[in-house]
Amino acid sequence: MTLCGWVESKRDHGGAVFIDLRDRYGLTQVVVGPPEADTQAIESAGRIPTESVILIKGKVTDRLEGKTNEKLATGEIEVRSDHVEILNSCANPPFTPSQADLPGEDLRLKYRFLDLRRKEMQQGLILRSKIIKTMRDYFAEHDFIDVETPILGRSTPEGARDYLVPSRVHAGKFYALPQSPQLYKQILMVAGFDRYVQVAKCFRDEDLRADRQPEFTQLDLEMSFVDADDIMGLIDGLVARTAKEVLGKEVKTPLPRMTYDEAMRRYGHDAPDLRFDMEIVDVTSVAAKTDFRVFRATADAGNFVRGMNVKDAATKYSRRQIDELTDFVKEFGAKGLAWFRVEDDGTLWSPISKNLDPAHLTEIKELLKGEPGDLLMFLADTWEVTCKGLYALRKRLGAELKLYNSDQLDCSWITEFPMFEKDEETGNWSAMHHPFTAPLARDLSKLAEDPRACRAQAYDLVINGSEAGGGTIRIHDSKTQQQVFELLGIDEATAEDRFGFLLNALRYGAPPHGGIALGVDRWVMLLAGLDNIREVIAFPKTQKAADLMTEAPGNVDTAQLNELYLRTVGIKPSESK
Amino acid sequence: MTLCGWVESKRDHGGAVFIDLRDRYGLTQVVVGPPEADTQAIESAGRIPTESVILIKGKVTDRLEGKTNEKLATGEIEVRSDHVEILNSCANPPFTPSQADLPGEDLRLKYRFLDLRRKEMQQGLILRSKIIKTMRDYFAEHDFIDVETPILGRSTPEGARDYLVPSRVHAGKFYALPQSPQLYKQILMVAGFDRYVQVAKCFRDEDLRADRQPEFTQLDLEMSFVDADDIMGLIDGLVARTAKEVLGKEVKTPLPRMTYDEAMRRYGHDAPDLRFDMEIVDVTSVAAKTDFRVFRATADAGNFVRGMNVKDAATKYSRRQIDELTDFVKEFGAKGLAWFRVEDDGTLWSPISKNLDPAHLTEIKELLKGEPGDLLMFLADTWEVTCKGLYALRKRLGAELKLYNSDQLDCSWITEFPMFEKDEETGNWSAMHHPFTAPLARDLSKLAEDPRACRAQAYDLVINGSEAGGGTIRIHDSKTQQQVFELLGIDEATAEDRFGFLLNALRYGAPPHGGIALGVDRWVMLLAGLDNIREVIAFPKTQKAADLMTEAPGNVDTAQLNELYLRTVGIKPSESK
């Protein structure tokens, strides 16, 4: 047989050279030794540098008893070779993919071709390829048409910052890279395509967080003549299929659904981690009755006292650790953290328990279903601060107390999001999803009367406490669309200028339609059980949006800029290098 | 049953309204009339504007005898409805998709959502989706990994003009949109991925021809440890599979292969249309013996007299028409067109036949296998001009004489291209494919000795006379790569600056590898039997690189430019609008 691959490692042993030969499918042990190989072959095999590419010819044999390696797929065989050919020798590399102590990520990104040789990286990208193939198969079976939408599009100042592409033919004008194919897919519905799907590249020139990339991939789809239930049902099937085919896991469908209001009430967030319990409980009604100043004042001001029961944690958190948690919730605007231990006799104890009537303490304990050994924690603040603080606290405690396993997969829907958010400083309304989202039919009249109470036909898919996708039913009549634009402060002239083609499309026979977009990078990361999005992207950018391997972005010639009618300006010496 | 769709047309007839209801799957006749429907329902159905979106409820019935319509898939049934609901009314549209006389392409591009409702457009895009799905399935079955490569890359001044994307984070620096994923896919091979595939978006800021778009799609793949035969064999299977699954056509494999030299000799071009014969024949050896001044002088100067036998065409082209063909070949640099009719008695006649010895005329006739009624045509010129002129003439005559059917599918390979082309004015060499192409092993020494004679491990797939894809085996050692860079005038410092990561990758264990890229837009166009590439792209740009629907490229705010450290300069009033 003939084998090609990389020399992962080699050992001289008893006059023979043992080579671990690596290819995409795994490792194979190659033995170059007597009697098959002659002295010259053995000696030259001994001199092959690690990570060189070789071709070997030889015979497959069983390994000697006791020499099998159960960690390898090919661990029970070895190849005895008399012919080793170096296809390409490897210079001394800055690191090897098999070394135990890997260098920092920057060096690995610079030498990405070495880093991508690591088994973990290969597995991640193979998983990604499989997940995307499964998605495409699923939608093809459901009669979706895969349509490519343009990358060179039009800049719309809404939402995040666009990446711009100067035009050479149209002096002074610019294309923009799409933040999503949103308007194109709506146009496809108006054009009668009925079911559209695309694995689409999207772009946002934002300040980057750990899990954001300037370019990212989304599974994007749109359907006509459907409602929110149809879309969620379709995606339920996708989730189950993907989990089964790719991970061998069963996911029960339909996935659970919860309204936005319920999620905020029970978990303080619209993407709750449902792998563990520990729900938020509102004890404001009790607080209003107590003499404890902090609780009472909060209730009197119309604010909230809400808490969680951290089961069996009374002895797990010392006073010092609770002080740390107090500092932690203060980062989210809380003024403090109230807590009680449930004692063996069922009473609540804490530094503040003496300020509360025992009957009220009992009421609180019962509301939180407290049992001996539990730790009860409370925030007394505005609705928003209790949500943010308790969400963060729950997330932290869930991880610290290992309330879930990393291989758990919990998927659910959050529905009926508010249509709008109000910027309290400017008084301006903004769209919570995007300005093309349809309100719930029963909330249509609230568009004019009470925008804050108006709920959207919107749905987010949450996996393990991360938003893994979101969609909406869209507005399909131009009148409602204009009404929403007005509410968002986009006047008629501006709307026609920016979205004229959409408004036109809505006038010329637009069907009811809706869709969803799933973050593919995030999905792969979650399904692979990883927490660095750069590990599921072959050539990611750093948090400063640079590609360390190709050194992009780079300098360009003045001639290139002249052709584009551009000149660079205002660059401080500290910024250029 | 309930049906949703668009009102393609409607007729009042005998107190009932007949609606042709269109959805993605076809047309259905809906009858709103007595006894099912009441007067009010019939009247309101009569008032529904064409292209409105409606929902109808009703019963499926067979059509009355003699009223069936065999042109429709649903032509034998009709739906009798008592309930018609307007989901969205259509304003008076600039044109309707079913009208016989369509407006010009610009108006159709502006109202693309109307144009895309046409059956031909829907079929084209559905075919595209199927072809791409078939490709993806094929490569998944062959163990390829689908890897996404970046859209935000680094500008390299070789090849066509890049689209640039200014960076906000790195002042004065630019990303470039990829002209192909070439270097990334090579890096993936160095990283050990073995088999990579991607349906990739690529970009070129070129002056546009009818069949070019600023952004285009290519099926891009790369394999390790393979030679040219392996890649061609793999694509043979893809072609056969696609033709069978998508068009129901059998394509015999292996596809025929022809070297570049042979193609130039027999057809004057590296993408010959092999749906018909009419090969080029070289008669220079006879020309050298004649006394006919033009032929003799051409031969004496070391140039060529080459011609073609246009079978049975002697009476099809008048003297005036042959004069037109003469003007036609002059566009390609020819000085004239010599021609002979083969008479009934087997002799050659033409205005110049008296200048040639009858024995030489007979020799010429025999070389071209002339038979009575044939028309023989010749160019006497340099090799290049005879190639260009006869290629163009052959193409024109093939179409005019209908020497092939539009549903024929002829696929073949052209191999062993020259590595380099020399710009005769500047004396500079350029790479015929790209600078990463490996020479034939037997031509390696010619790299230094005789670059012009050095052939590449390159192969182009030709379908019906169009290049439908091309690939090469790549250079996998840094020494040869540097030698090629030097020949192309890229000095070591420049090479390191632009391609340092590739040269590095070649040093650290690069396997032998090669690949190919197929033009998806072109493939779909050829397989759909269309000749306008914009008909197989959902949202194409015009030849001026504009999107008439969204009006991209557009203006951007000064604030956006400031963030990018840019200012527009040098725009003449005539250029800005």
User: Inter-chain contact A165–B553, Cβ cutoff 8 Å?
Assistant: yes
| Dist CA A539 CA B163 (whole Å) | 20
Residue A68 is predicted with a pLDDT of: 67
Helices (H), B220-349: 228-242, 260-267, 284-287, 293-300, 319-330
| Dist CA B117 CA B26 (whole Å) | 11
| Dist CA A166 CA B174 (whole Å) | 11
What are the beta bridge partners of residue B376?
B309, B340
Q: How far is CA B471 from CA B43, B226, B227, B235, in A?
A: 64, 13, 11, 11
| Dist CA B122 CA B27 (whole Å) | 13
Q: Give the gap in angstroms from C-alpha B350 to the nearest C-alpha of chain A.
A: 51
**Domain annotation covers residue B234:** no
Q: Are residues A194 and A118 part of one domain?
A: yes
Q: Give the gap in angstroms from C-alpha A403 to the nearest C-alpha of chain B.
A: 35
**Domain annotation covers residue A153:** yes
Q: Are residues B395 and B280 part of one domain?
A: yes
Which of A:474-503 have CB within 8 Å of B?
A: 476-477, 500-501
What does the pLDDT average to over B319-341? 97
Give the E-state strand segments of B157-214 in sequence order: 164-166, 174-176, 195-203
Q: Are residues B112 and B67 part of one domain?
A: no
Spatial CB neighbours of B364, under 8 Å, sequence gap ≥ 6: B283, B286, B307, B340, B348, B356, B370, B376
- The secondary structure of residue A354, as a DSSP letter, is G
Cα–Cα nearest to B207, from B456, B554, B541, B487: B541
| Dist CA B62 CA A289 (whole Å) | 75
| Dist CA A391 CA A308 (whole Å) | 10
| Dist CA B385 CA A65 (whole Å) | 73
**What pLDDT band is residue B575 in, cutting at 50, 70 and 90?**
low
| Dist CA A156 CA A262 (whole Å) | 34
Query: Is B519 marked as a binding-site residue?
Result: yes
Helices (H), B331-445: 358-367, 383-400
The CATH number that applies at residue A199 is: 3.30.930.10
Q: What would the two tokens of residue A45 be?
A: 């095999």
Q: Are residues B291 and B207 part of one domain?
A: no
Q: Are B146 and B136 in contact (CB under 8 A)?
A: yes
Residue numbers in A near B570 (CB within 8 A):
562, 565
What are the beta bridge partners of residue A78?
A29, A61
User: Inter-chain contact A148–B537, Cβ cutoff 8 Å?
Assistant: yes
Q: Are B527 and B127 in contact (CB under 8 A)?
A: yes
Residue in B90, B177, B554 nearest the CB of A174: B554
- Which stretch of DSSP H or E encloses residue B59? strand B53-62
Query: Is B342 marked as a binding-site residue?
Result: no
| Secondary-structure percent of chain A, ordered helix, strand, coil, rounded to 5 | 35, 25, 40
Q: Are B162 and B156 in contact (CB under 8 A)?
A: yes
Of A348, A379, A401, which closes a domain?
A401
Q: Give the gap in angstroms from C-alpha A146 to the nearest C-alpha of chain B.
A: 5
Q: What percent of chain B has pLDDT over 90?
A: 84
Residue with token string 């079913």 = B98
Which of B:46-105 have CB within 8 Å of A?
A: 51-53, 55, 87-91, 93
- The secondary structure of residue B456, as a DSSP letter, is B
pLDDT in tens, B148-174: 999 999 987 667 899 999 999 999 999
Q: Are residues A386 and A325 part of one domain?
A: yes
Residue A73 is predicted with a pLDDT of: 65
Residue A129 is predicted with a pLDDT of: 97
How many residues would you count in chain B? 577
Of B88, B116, B137, which closes a domain?
B88
Q: What's the domain count of chain A? A: 3
Residue in A90, A165, A501 nearest the CB of B164: A165
Spatial CB neighbours of B257, under 8 Å, sequence gap ≥ 6: B232, B412, B413, B414, B415, B459
Q: Are A132 and A142 in contact (CB under 8 A)?
A: no
pLDDT in tens, B534-554: 999 999 999 999 999 999 999
Q: Are residues A367 and A394 part of one domain?
A: yes
**Domain annotation covers residue B78:** yes
What does the pLDDT average to over B76-91? 92
Residue B68 is predicted with a pLDDT of: 67
Q: What would the two tokens of residue A556 be?
A: 């360009």
Q: Are residues B129 and B70 part of one domain?
A: no
Enter the pTM of the model: 0.94
Residue B77 is predicted with a pLDDT of: 80
Q: Are residues B115 and B79 part of one domain?
A: no
| Dist CA B48 CA B90 (whole Å) | 9
| Secondary-structure percent of chain B, ordered helix, strand, coil, rounded to 5 | 35, 25, 40
User: Inter-chain contact A547–B122, Cβ cutoff 8 Å?
Assistant: no
Spatial CB neighbours of B423, under 8 Å, sequence gap ≥ 6: B429, B430
A124 by Cβ neighbours in 10 Å (0-12 / 13-18 / 19+) ranks as buried
Q: Are residues A219 and A122 part of one domain?
A: yes
Least confident piece of the model among A195-204, A280-289, B380-389, B479-488:
B479-488
User: Inter-chain contact A201–B145, Cβ cutoff 8 Å?
Assistant: no
**What pLDDT band is residue B215 in, cutting at 50, 70 and 90?**
very high
Mean pLDDT (chain B, rounded): 93
State the complex-level ipTM.
Answer: 0.93
Residue with token string 């950018």 = A541
Q: Are residues A109 and A84 part of one domain?
A: no
Is residue B576 over pLDDT 60? no
Q: Are residues B82 and B109 part of one domain?
A: no
pLDDT in tens, B127-155: 999 999 999 999 999 999 999 999 999 98
Q: Are B334 and B385 in contact (CB under 8 A)?
A: yes
A253 by Cβ neighbours in 10 Å (0-12 / 13-18 / 19+) ranks as middle
The CATH number that applies at residue A297 is: 3.30.1360.30
Q: What would the two tokens of residue B558 be?
A: 């000064």
Any idea what the Cα angle at residue B153 is, between residues B152 and B155, rounded to 5°? 125
User: Inter-chain contact B194–A23, Cβ cutoff 8 Å?
Assistant: yes
Of B363, B385, B401, which closes a domain?
B401
Q: Are A176 and A154 in contact (CB under 8 A)?
A: yes
Residue in B87, B171, B560 nearest the CB of A575: B171
In chain A, which residue's Cα lies nearest the Cα of B576? A171
Number of other residues whose CB lies within 10 A of the CB of residue A507: 19
Is residue B90 over pLDDT 80? yes
Residues in chain A where the model's pLDDT stays below 70: 65-68, 70-75, 157-158, 210, 574-577
**Domain annotation covers residue A336:** yes
Q: Are residues B395 and B282 part of one domain?
A: yes
Cα–Cα nearest to A224, from A187, A172, A267: A187
Residue A520 is predicted with a pLDDT of: 97
The CATH number that applies at residue B55 is: 2.40.50.140
Q: What would the two tokens of residue B508 be?
A: 């650290």
**Domain annotation covers residue A484:** no
Residue numbers in A near B193 (CB within 8 A):
24, 116, 122, 125
Residue A572 is predicted with a pLDDT of: 80
**Domain annotation covers residue B353:** yes
Residue numbers in B near A138 (CB within 8 A):
none
Best residue of B115, B147, B149, B152 to probe chain A, by most A CBs closer than 10 Å: B152
Q: Give the gap in angstroms from C-alpha A112 to the nearest C-alpha of chain B.
A: 8
Query: Is B489 marked as a binding-site residue?
Result: no
Containing structural domain, residue B322: 276-401
Residue B210 is predicted with a pLDDT of: 67
DSSP reduced 3-state for A59: strand
| Dist CA A36 CA A57 (whole Å) | 11
Q: What would the two tokens of residue B124 be?
A: 């084209």
Which of B:507-536 have CB within 8 Å of A?
A: 507-512
B200 by Cβ neighbours in 10 Å (0-12 / 13-18 / 19+) ranks as buried
Residue B89 is predicted with a pLDDT of: 95
Residue numbers in A near B507 (CB within 8 A):
90-91
Instruction: Give the strand pairing for A77-88 and A26-32.
Output: parallel
Half-sphere exposure of A90 (CA within 13 A, CB side): 26
**Domain annotation covers residue B232:** no
DSSP reduced 3-state for A417: coil
Write out the binding residues of A for L-aspartate.
Answer: 158, 204, 433, 474
The CA-based dihedral angle spanning residues B31, B32, B35, B37, taken in that order and rounded to the nearest 10 degrees: 150
**Domain annotation covers residue A76:** yes
Q: How far is CA B274 from CA B257, B387, B391, B538, in A?
A: 12, 16, 12, 31
Q: Are B328 and B393 in contact (CB under 8 A)?
A: yes
